[in-house]
């Protein structure tokens, strides 16, 4: 390890950093974007029609997985998959949730950039664990 003695006044202790993290999370959790994200998520989860629409789309997609990877889906199946996807995206609760997620991601990316600049490491990439898609 680097053998160095820091001036205690200049060092942020672990508890101070964790307190700043807590304060940050509370502030982000209080933003209109986060509140809308949470509310739209619960709305989406409770919307039976939207849940059926996404389930049907995902089931169809899973059943065609191998063919999709080989780009060998029949025109009929492709149209059916598109129809199910369109039906899902037309659900008002799904639209609201997708829009809320986009807006939360937009401000989170800006904040992530600010944090990365401050610490000299890519915040999002550095916090990624478990392989390339973890």
Partner 1 sequence: MALRVKQEAAVGKVIEMTSAQNAISITLLEATSVLGENLVQSEPFLCFQEADRKLHVDREAMRLLTEFAELQQKIRSQQHSGAISESDIKRMRELQSAVGTNDSIQEHGLAQETAIAFLREVNQEISNLLGVDFASLTRRSGGCC
The residues that touch partner 1, with contacts defined as CB under 8 A, are 1-2, 4, 6, 10-14, 16-18, 20-29, 31-34, 38, 102-115, 117-121, 123-129, 132-133
Question: Of 1 and 48, which CB lies nearer to partner 1 in the complex structure?
Answer: 1
Question: Of 2 and 69, which CB lies nearer to partner 1 in the complex structure?
Answer: 2
Handedness of CA 39, 45, 47, 51 (dihedral sign): positive
> What string of H, E and C letters represents the secondary structure of 52-70?
HHHHHHHHHHHHCHHHHHC
Q: Are 28 and 20 in contact (CB under 8 A)?
A: no
Question: Of 69 and 133, which CB lies nearer to partner 1 in the complex structure?
Answer: 133
For the CB of residue 9, give the shortest distance to partner 1 in the complex, in Å: 10
Write the DSSP string, 59-110.
HHHHHTHHHHHTT---HHHHHHHHHHHHHHHTSHHHHHHHHHHHHHHHHHHH
For the CB of residue 56, give the shortest distance to partner 1 in the complex, in Å: 25
Question: Of 49 and 117, which CB lies nearer to partner 1 in the complex structure?
Answer: 117
For the CB of residue 31, give the shortest distance to partner 1 in the complex, in Å: 6
């Amino acid at each position: 390890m680097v053998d160095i003695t820091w001036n205690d006044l200049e060092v942020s202790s672990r508890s101070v950093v964790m307190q700043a993290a807590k304060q940050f999370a509370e502030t982000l959790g209080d933003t209109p974007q986060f509140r809308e994200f949470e509310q739209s998520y619960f709305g989406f989860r409770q919307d039976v029609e939207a849940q059926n629409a996404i389930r049907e789309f995902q089931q169809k997609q899973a059943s065609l997985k191998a063919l999709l990877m080989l780009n060998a889906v029949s025109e009929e199946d492709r149209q059916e998959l598109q129809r199910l996807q369109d039906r899902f995206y037309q659900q008002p609760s799904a639209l609201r949730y997708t829009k809320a997620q986009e807006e939360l991601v937009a401000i989170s990316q800006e904040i992530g950039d600010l944090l990365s600049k401050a610490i000299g490491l890519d915040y999002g990439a550095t916090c990624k664990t478990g392989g390339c898609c973890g």
